[in-house]
Structure 1
Amino acid sequence: MTLQTVILAAGMGSRLGRSLPKSLTRLSDGRSIMGQQHDNIRAAFGKGARITTVVGYRAETIVEAFPQADYVYNDRYDQTNTSKSLLRALSATGKGGVLWMNGDVVFDPRILGRAIALIERDQSFVTVNTDKVSDEEVKYTVSQDGFVKELSKTVRGGIGEAVGINYVSSGDKRALIRQLHRVDDQDYFERGLELAIAEDGMRLLPLDISDLYAVEVDFAEDLERANLYV
């Protein structure tokens, strides 16, 4: 299947303490984080999958490492958060649905295989882990019909964490773009999703991948944990 995918990799990733963009951090198997993401995307969706990467900090290093990808530049990468990077990407990807991921997530390739059925149905979703609920992570709750109701770091009584791999359907895309325009520069993209749910009736499914690995690499200990899997 041909699919439009987006990787959000504009930030500086200063908490990891590396000079290169965090997505270029080397894993124990020799690949970079972004290299593993590219491999996983191609394995699930074929070589024809289109990959658009949002770059900012030291953009030239990512472009040099992955010249075959398409690029969108966030020239305000040091002043904005993932909401505005995603906005730029969605605005550049036409009318179809988009699978996107944070550029610092090391994840089991089977996650994308599990997502194929929902993508083929053009059903918006967020991948979630229900095994843990940390205060500093993006958490979620669901409505009575099983769709996501709340999605943010400030959710109380969250039943799991968002993993950072998501899909917006062709039908929901316009509403999400509109809400991403509205949110503050420092908001995460989850704020746009939450507003689209509340104001536009977006039906966002939680896709449980708790039995598979997905590690967001913010600190050195996260990288150590990710290397246990790859």
Structure 2
Amino acid sequence: MTLQTVILAAGMGSRLGRALPKPLTELNDGRSIMQQQHDNIRAAFGHDARITTVVGYRAETIVEAFPHVDYVYNDRYDQTNTSKSLLRALNATGRASVLWMNGDVVFDPRVLGRAVSFIERDQSFVTVNTAKVSDEEVKYTIDERGHIAELSKTVKDGIGEAVGINYISSADKKAFIRQLQRVDDQDYFERGLELAIAEDGLRLAPMDISDLYAVEVDFAEDLERANLFV
């Protein structure tokens, strides 16, 4: 399976308090966060999987560590959020469907194995965890058909959390790009998905991985928790 994948790694990651970009943070097994992402992508989809990384803050350190992938540069990384980084990557990948992830997610390799059936039928999805619902995380609700209805940090009565690994189908990509173009610079990409759901009829499936691990590393305690799994 040849697949377009995107890693969002442009941000400064200041909350973790490291000099290097957060995706280069070393884990207990000696790999960086980004290296375990690369390993998981290759394990699930083979070495033909195309990886495009969006860089910004100290971009040269990531390029030097991973010279054999494609890069998109967000020169406004200090003024924009994930919506605009992802927009650049989607525009760079043509009409192809795209699997993307935040560059700070440490996750079970089986997550992407579970995604294969969605990708094979070109079904857009958001990976979710229903085991906990934190005020600081992106939360979601579903509609009567079981598709994502709301998706943001401000969702009330969320039934779970989004974990930062997502897929947009080739059929849905154009509408999603259009919505990402119109959202505010400081919006997360989830705002574009919400608008596409409301205005374009995007049917976004929740892919539940509550039985597997996936940790977005924002703070030192998140890194400690991620290191319990690797």
- Corresponding residue SS for 2:174: helix
| Aligned counterpart, 1:116 | 116
- Corresponding residue SS for 1:151: strand
Report deviation, 1:133.
0.5
| Aligned counterpart, 2:175 | 175
| Aligned counterpart, 1:19 | 19
- Corresponding residue SS for 2:167: strand
Q: Which amino acid aligns with 1:148?
A: I
| Aligned counterpart, 2:195 | 195
Instruction: Indicate whether 1:5 and 2:13 are aligned.
Output: no
Unaligned runs of 5+ in 1: none
| Aligned counterpart, 1:144 | 144
Q: Distance in 2 between matches of 1:217 and 1:76?
A: 22
| Aligned counterpart, 1:132 | 132
Q: Distance in 1 between matches of 2:122 and 2:8?
A: 21
**Identity fraction in percent:** 84
- Corresponding residue SS for 1:156: coil
| Aligned counterpart, 2:76 | 76
Using structure 1 for the length normalisation, give the TM-score. Answer: 1.00
Encode CA deviations 1:40-75: one digit per residue, 9 max, x unaligned: 000000000000000000000000000011000000
- Corresponding residue SS for 1:164: strand
Q: Distance in 1 between matches of 2:208 and 2:180?
A: 25
Instruction: Indicate whether 1:158 and 2:149 are aligned.
Output: no
- Corresponding residue SS for 2:100: strand
Indicate the RMSD between aligned Cα atoms, in angstroms.
Answer: 0.3
Q: Distance in 2 between matches of 1:178 and 1:90?
A: 11
Instruction: Indicate whether 1:218 and 2:205 are aligned.
Output: no
Using structure 2 for the length normalisation, give the TM-score. Answer: 1.00
Q: Distance in 2 between matches of 1:22 and 1:157?
A: 31
Unaligned runs of 5+ in 2: none
- Corresponding residue SS for 1:57: coil
| Aligned counterpart, 1:229 | 229
| Aligned counterpart, 1:53 | 53
Q: Distance in 2 between matches of 1:4 and 1:96?
A: 7
Report deviation, 1:96.
1.1
Report deviation, 1:7.
0.1
